[in-house]
């Protein structure tokens, strides 16, 4: 059964590196309605940073394009974050999700998806080459 969100926000920003900080803080501020711990907020910020950075570095390369962020809050204190781009897409998602795999050159660590996975409760990546990628992450905020 699909649960209906109790609140939602949508943000569209350009794939400029200066917008990564805004994205992480904006998503964390919205999730703060659930009274998360400092650690839970840090997890959300880190996961969002990785996803947005992937859009900036990999999806659009040396061009600028839109990044779409949707955050849904559910009654069970679950935060769902979707980060979508219309960039180059990922040819082989399973390969891209392997630790240390990168197409970004020697200066990239290839740990983006691993970091997203370790800081959230679930991670899904859907991509179509030439059309873009959607990363969906969920984090359940524990009741204190």
From the centroid of its chain, how far is CA 35? 20
Task: Tell me the residue range of the domain where 20 lies.
Answer: 7-140
Report pLDDT digits (tens) over 87-135.
999 887 777 767 555 555 545 445 667 778 889 999 999 999 999 999 9
Asked if residue 2 is part of any domain, the answer here is no
Model confidence, pTM: 0.88
Active-site amino acid positions: 50, 54, 108
Cα–Cα distance between 16 and 71 in angstroms, integer?
A: 20
Give the number of domains in the chain.
1
Domain of residue 32, CATH code: 3.30.565.10
Asked if residue 98 is part of any domain, the answer here is yes
Asked if residue 1 is part of any domain, the answer here is no
Record the tokens describing residue 65, joined without a space: 């394009």
Asked if residue 60 is part of any domain, the answer here is yes
Smallest Cα–Cα separation from 104: which of 51, 57, 48, 60?
57
């Amino acid at each position: 059964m699909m649960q209906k969100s109790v609140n939602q926000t949508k943000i569209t920003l350009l794939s400029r590196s200066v917008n990564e900080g805004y994205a992480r803080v904006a998503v964390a501020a919205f999730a703060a309605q659930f009274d998360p711990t400092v650690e839970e907020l840090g997890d959300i910020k880190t996961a969002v940073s990785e996803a947005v950075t992937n859009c900036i570095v990999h999806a659009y390369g040396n061009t600028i394009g839109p990044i779409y962020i949707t955050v849904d809050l559910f009654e069970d204190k679950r935060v769902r974050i979707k980060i979508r781009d219309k960039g180059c897409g990922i040819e082989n998602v399973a390969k891209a999700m392997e630790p240390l795999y990168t197409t970004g050159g020697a200066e990239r660590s290839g740990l983006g998806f691993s970091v997203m996975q370790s800081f959230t409760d679930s991670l899904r990546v859907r991509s179509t080459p030439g059309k873009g990628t959607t990363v969906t992450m969920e984090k359940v905020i524990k009741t204190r």
